[in-house]
Chains A and B, each alone.
Chain A
């Protein structure tokens, strides 16, 4: 019963966060002194044109009226039209989001596959040369601007070694063969039965995903390392070593499992943070996803699209936080759901 009550309280907390988010985004889009209609049309447009577009977008109404209208539309999923693509923003988001999701999911996989083993190696050689080398690497990954690492990869693996294409999701030679079903290129190419296109899609996604994974890898390495060292020092682990259990068994069965809880929390949050990193990487690699769409709407002052993208990113963040809370409290029942003292 207590669990369910906790869950309900956390759910209502999430609802409040989402409401706060909607207010924040409304304030940014309507209350800040810029005139969205003027920004969209540019300095050359006449006053009449600006007034007409403002009326069409409902910007001539008093703010409270605008807010009620904005909330009503949010609830029915109507985000208005994009001034730039002329499509409904909701439609644009739906078509662009899979490309971004595919990219951040692969980047996340790289982060886990490289980050956790490196953290474990560092912890095992605690204080040694390997530990320091890993530490330096971890520092570099959090310090490097993602656009810089993206460009370096393009230069080295694209231009100089010529191993991978530099931009886009698929070579134009294959674009006729692929039917869009899921929006995930790696899946769609398989469904269309074209192995060549599938391989081509892999060569396109590898570089941006690797570049994107760098931003969070350092965090994953460091948290894995420190929680491993922390658990290694616990009495019950020392006791098992004392009983003469083989080291690999102790590490495998006891240390890793317990060290995983803090790592899991960081991993969950990093998954959401990759969405932020994608805003840069998609520009560098001309990746036709949500983030590139978002940046273009910001640059062209396409208010409805900016609101839609910001809202979607915010919702993903709030939901991921919620899921991470649930998972950690499931793995380690001693941890109460966030906001509670267990």
Chain B
């Protein structure tokens, strides 16, 4: 059998592989669609993302987001005009919640956008290189993991004037650790696989092995972890803001709005309750979606 016949065979395979792959996708889709909770989770996340992106067009009173005051309309209970009521400055709370979602999702994007690539890179290098490189990287990671993120973020934020940007920086600077550990475990277990050894034998560069062989095989657990983490990032950011170290008024941070409302309890309960409930809905969406993805890809990730 000559080489020509072999290459002829592979090209004929294309027609066979592609429907099989389509079948695989279809089955995954069926499995996902059969879990009502994950579908609801996906719908929540997509709906909130759309609200956030189109906030200026959707929010009923976009001009009332920031340092707007209308004291004649302050402390209005929920009504048709103001479904979530108005706050102490007379601003529409629904409008501020919609804009608050913008800040929450921006935080998620920045923290995961910085943390995931950095952590994955460090973890892959540690797991593949082994030896002292591994020891040093993982020691640093373990040290960061010895403190809960909220406490560590508090300590970092304490060194600066409190702003949203500092809160983002504080959370992002410690979120890589989880991904470093996850990617390192995966890379360690995968580097014994035959296809990696084959690539090594074929003389592939380390970069090729890390990014073309190992990384694609780590993607599904990373995606699951990132989705579940998105909820925790939202909670951490909201907690920092609630304490007073995150988003500062008059910016509409959800946690900031809850904190501001506590002084008007119990009479004007809606000032705190609606923004708090809004955080809960978003985090719930991420968790339900992440859980569905976990079943779909059949991966275990530590939480």
Interface residues of A (CB under 8 A from B): 16-17, 20-21, 23-25, 28-29, 32-34, 36, 39, 135-136, 139-140, 142-148, 151-152, 154-155, 159-160, 219, 272-273, 275-276, 279-280, 283-284, 294-295, 297-299, 301, 303, 306, 309-310, 313-314, 317-318, 321
**B171 CB, min distance to chain A CBs, angstroms:** 14
Could you say which residues of chain A place their CB within 8 Å of the CB of B243?
Answer: 279-280, 283, 295, 298-299
Among A147, A152, A317, which residue has its beta carbon within 8 angstroms of that of B148? A317
Q: Does residue B276 face the partner (Cβ distance < 8 Å to A)? A: yes
* A159 CA / B262 CA spacing, docked (Å): 13
- Choose from B143, B235, B283 the contact partner of A24 (Cβ within 8 Å): B143
Give B148's nearest chain A residue, CB to CB. A276
B154 pairs with A16, CB closer than 8 A? no
Q: Which residues of A lie under 8 Å from residue B239 when comparing CB positions?
A: 145-147, 279-280
- From the candidates A25, A147, A160, A275, name the one contacting B276 in the complex (CB within 8 A): A147
- Chain B interface residues (CB < 8 Å from chain A): 37, 139-140, 142-144, 146-152, 154-160, 231, 235, 238-239, 242-245, 255, 258-259, 262, 265-266, 269, 272-273, 276-277, 279-280, 283-284, 287-288, 291, 303
Nearest 6 pairs of A and B residues by beta carbon: A20-B143, A148-B276, A276-B148, A159-B266, A34-B159, A143-B284
Cα A154 to Cα B265 in complex, Å, equals 9
Choose one: A33, A144, A275, A321; the contact of B280 (CB below 8 Å).
Answer: A144
Contact A151:B151 (CB < 8 A) given known A23-B143, A298-B157: no
- What residues of chain B lie closer than 8 Å to A299, measured between beta carbons? 243-245
A145 touches B238 (CB 8 A): yes
Q: Report the separation of the CA atoms of residues A139 and B284 in the bound assembly, to the nearest whole angstrom.
A: 7
Measured in the bound complex, the distance between the Cα atoms of B231 and A36 in whole Å is 33
Is the pair A148, B279 in contact by a Cβ cutoff of 8 Å?
Answer: yes
- What B residues does A20 contact at CB under 8 A? 139-140, 142-143, 146
Nearest chain B CB to A43 CB, angstrom units: 9
**Contact of A145 with B283 at beta-carbon distance under 8 Å, contacts A219-B303, A283-B243 already known:** yes
Contacts of B244 in A (CB 8 A): 299
Nearest Cβ in chain A — how far from B280, in angstroms?
Answer: 5
Indicate if the CB atoms of A29 and B159 lie closer than 8 Å: yes
- Chain B residues in 8 Å Cβ range of A135: 37
Please state if B258 and A147 are interface contacts (CB–CB under 8 Å): yes
A36 to B158 alpha-carbon distance, docked (Å)? 9
CA distance in complex: A203, B204 (Å):
67
Give the distance in Å from the alpha carbon of A205 to the alpha carbon of B148 in the complex.
24
Residue of B nearest to A132 (CB): B37
Other-chain residue from A148, A297, A313 in contact with B147 (beta carbon distance below 8 A): A313
The contact of B159 among A16, A36, A144, A294, by CB within 8 Å, is A36
A152 to chain B, nearest CB (A): 7
**Cβ of B287 to closest chain A Cβ, rounded Å:** 5
With A28-B156, A279-B151, A313-B151 already in contact, the answer to whether A143 and B146 are too (CB < 8 A) is no
Do B265 and A17 touch across chains, with their CB atoms under 8 A apart?
no
Question: Is A317 within 8 A of B146, CB to CB?
Answer: yes
Closest B residue to A302 by CB, please name it.
B158
CA–CA, A152 and B274, complex, Å: 11
Q: Are B151 and A276 in contact (CB under 8 A)?
A: yes
Chain A residues whose CB sits within 8 angstroms of the CB of B160 once the complex forms: 32-34
Give me 13 A-to-B residue pairs in the complex whose CB atoms sit less than 8 angstroms apart, sorted by A's number.
A20-B143, A28-B155, A29-B159, A39-B158, A145-B242, A145-B258, A147-B239, A152-B273, A159-B265, A159-B266, A284-B262, A303-B158, A310-B152
Cβ contact of B143, chosen from A17, A29, A160, cutoff 8 A: A17
B273→A295 contact, CB < 8 A: no
CA–CA, A149 and B182, complex, Å: 31
> In the bound complex, do residue B258 and residue A151 qualify as a contact, i.e. CB atoms below 8 Å apart?
yes
A28-B152, A299-B244 given; name 12 further pairs at CB < 8 Å: A32-B156, A146-B239, A147-B259, A151-B273, A155-B266, A155-B269, A275-B148, A276-B150, A295-B154, A297-B158, A306-B154, A310-B152
The one of A139, A147, A275 that contacts B288, using a Cβ cutoff of 8 Å: A139
- Give min CB distance, B14 to chain A, whole Å: 41
Q: Complex: how many Å from CA A295 to CA B239?
A: 12
Query: In the bound complex, what is the Cα–Cα distance between A5 and B195 (angstroms)?
Result: 38
Chain A residue at minimum C-beta to C-beta distance from B162: A299
Taking the closest CB of chain A, its distance from the CB of B18, in whole angstroms, is 36
* Minimal beta-carbon separation of A140 from chain B (angstroms): 7
A306 touches B155 (CB 8 A): yes
The answer on a CB contact under 8 Å between B143 and A21 is yes
Q: Are the C-beta atoms of B159 and A151 separated by less than 8 Å?
A: no
Q: Are A17 and B146 in contact (CB under 8 A)?
A: yes
- Bound CA–CA A287/B148 (angstroms): 20
User: Is A148 touching B277 in the complex (CB atoms < 8 A)?
Assistant: yes
- On whether the beta carbons of B155 and A25 are closer than 8 Å, the reply is yes
Residues of chain A contacted by B37 (CB below 8 angstroms): 135-136, 139
CA distance A29 to B287 in the complex (A): 34
> Do B283 and A301 touch across chains, with their CB atoms under 8 A apart?
no
Report the Cα distance A155→B152, complex, angstroms.
31
CB distance from A29 to the nearest CB of B (A): 7
- Which residues does chain B contribute within 8 Å of A306, judged by CB atoms? 154-155, 158
* Known contacts A24-B144, A145-B235, A280-B242; A294 and B280 CB within 8 A of each other: no
Contact yes or no, A310 B284, CB < 8 A? no
